[in-house]
Amino acid sequence: MKKITTVLLAILIALTVFGQTPEKFSYQAVIRNSNNELVTNQNIGMQISILQGSVNGASVYVETHSINTNTNGLVSLEIGTGNIQSGDFTNIDWAGDTFFIKTETDLTGGSDYTITGTTQLLSVPYALHAKTAESITGEITETDPVFSDWDKTTGISITESQITDLGAYIESENDPVFTNSYAAEISDVDITNLNNLSGVNTGDQDISGISINTQAIIDTASNLRNDLAEKNNVLTLNNSTVFTPSADYQPATKKYVDDNSGSSPTTYNIGDTVLGGIVFWVDESGEHGLIAATSDYESTIKWNTGTNLYTGTKNGDGLYSGEMNTALIVAVQMPDNQGFDFAAKVCADYSVTMDGIPYGDWYLPSRYELNLLYLQKDIVGGFEDAYYWSSIEDYTPSAYVQDFSNGNQGINAKNDLNYVRPIRAF
């Protein structure tokens, strides 16, 4: 039996800007087989189609590539530079409609394509529309306005006599004299002394006349010392002691603290069960990342309240963006039906207590975060081979989902019933 393999879309990279708009854009994908294993260092065949209007729209351009995966299963190619099968890439009117990219793959390197995936092209490829500026021809006639018959009462009109008067003012200008200020008391001797000032006190700097309120400084320091003493800290004024933080002091920049040791920061690994759930992504420092709830929401659920409303989350993709998306969705949809549960609301309402600490800052993941979760679905566990909601809408009636049986992302109607897995950031 032929194995069915999976292609996971990784990145659509922005156009490279040169003197003229290039007729191409970059594309990358990670290739996995049916066992979710990376296909590495292997020649594969790919067919790329640009579809117009919808995921089932007509193809306006088709090209093929023969390309090798790298040691991480990644392929990189430039759409617009392959072997053209049909259409003209340079004639695509990117601003005239919605476009989708369809990928077909043959792991043997031929053209027996058994893998298919389709996703919408978002704002990046539409930079190609800038090329229309290069085709402007003809003359551009600029006509400067003519101002005449000004209303003399506005003061805009300047007569020759006013110009003469202005010249008289300028010619007879006198510098101001300060008689009742500190500046009036600066003498030539003072100026000479100021010019003689140096970085080393050679005796020409006399500060005997400066009054210092020593008692006020002592009182202020004493009050500071008493305030710190109340917080189990130490401060004295004899230059032999230092400020000593108490054991429970933590820097304000650290969002989560697991102990009071004040020692090196805590780091985490994918698969750790901590902070309310299971870690499924960490940054390079290991101190921050994303955590998934240990199980799905109790049943499938709609994205909306039964009424399609635009929530403004169409472009809110990326790390940690699901948190703001969730807040926007709840704010827009709650007034419509306050007693109705929907995908973003059940994530915002989710709370769990672990090691005596309640965690309640959960949210519906963005498309990017949802894909990171899919990549670690075997480690996190408890997922269905079905669609899961993201927090990003397509248009008013639809939102993005990811199929956890094969990793493909697509668009479903907001009224559809799909699964939800809350996540949180740390």
Tell me: the pLDDT tens digits for 395-425? 899 999 999 999 999 999 999 999 999 999 9
Structural domain containing residue 302: 273-425
My answer on whether 416 and 335 are in the same domain is yes
My answer on whether 310 and 243 are in the same domain is no
Within-domain flag for 188? no
Within-domain flag for 419? yes
My answer on whether 240 and 362 are in the same domain is no
Nearest to 13 by CA among 88, 94, 101, 89: 101
Q: Give the separation between CA 80 and CA 61, rounded to whole angstroms.
A: 9
State the pLDDT at residue 143: 62
Q: Give the separation between CA 337 and CA 39, rounded to whole angstroms.
A: 48
Give the three-class secondary structure for 260.
coil
Q: Write down which residue in 109, 130, 151 finishes a domain.
A: 130
Give the three-class secondary structure for 281.
strand
Q: Give the separation between CA 181 and CA 177, rounded to whole angstroms.
A: 10
Question: Does the pLDDT at position 140 exceed 90?
Answer: no
Within-domain flag for 54? yes
Share of the chain above pLDDT 70, in %: 65
Tell me: the pLDDT tens digits for 298-344? 999 999 998 999 999 999 899 999 999 999 999 999 887 777 899 99
Domains contained in the chain, number: 3
Within-domain flag for 186? no
Question: Does the pLDDT at position 381 exceed 90?
Answer: yes
Residue 35 backbone zone (phi > 0: left; psi -120 to 50: alpha; other: beta): alpha
Is the pTM here over 0.85, yes or no?
A: no
Question: Does the pLDDT at position 354 exceed 50?
Answer: yes
My answer on whether 294 and 408 are in the same domain is yes
Residues 6+ apart with CB under 8 A from 242: 234, 235
My answer on whether 222 and 316 are in the same domain is no
My answer on whether 278 and 417 are in the same domain is yes
CATH number, position 44:
2.60.40.10
State the pLDDT at residue 239: 47
My answer on whether 95 and 35 are in the same domain is yes
**Residues pairing with 418 in the sheet:** 301
Please give the average per-residue pLDDT across 72-79, as a whole number.
90
My answer on whether 229 and 287 are in the same domain is no
Q: Write down which residue in 130, 159, 181 finishes a domain.
A: 130
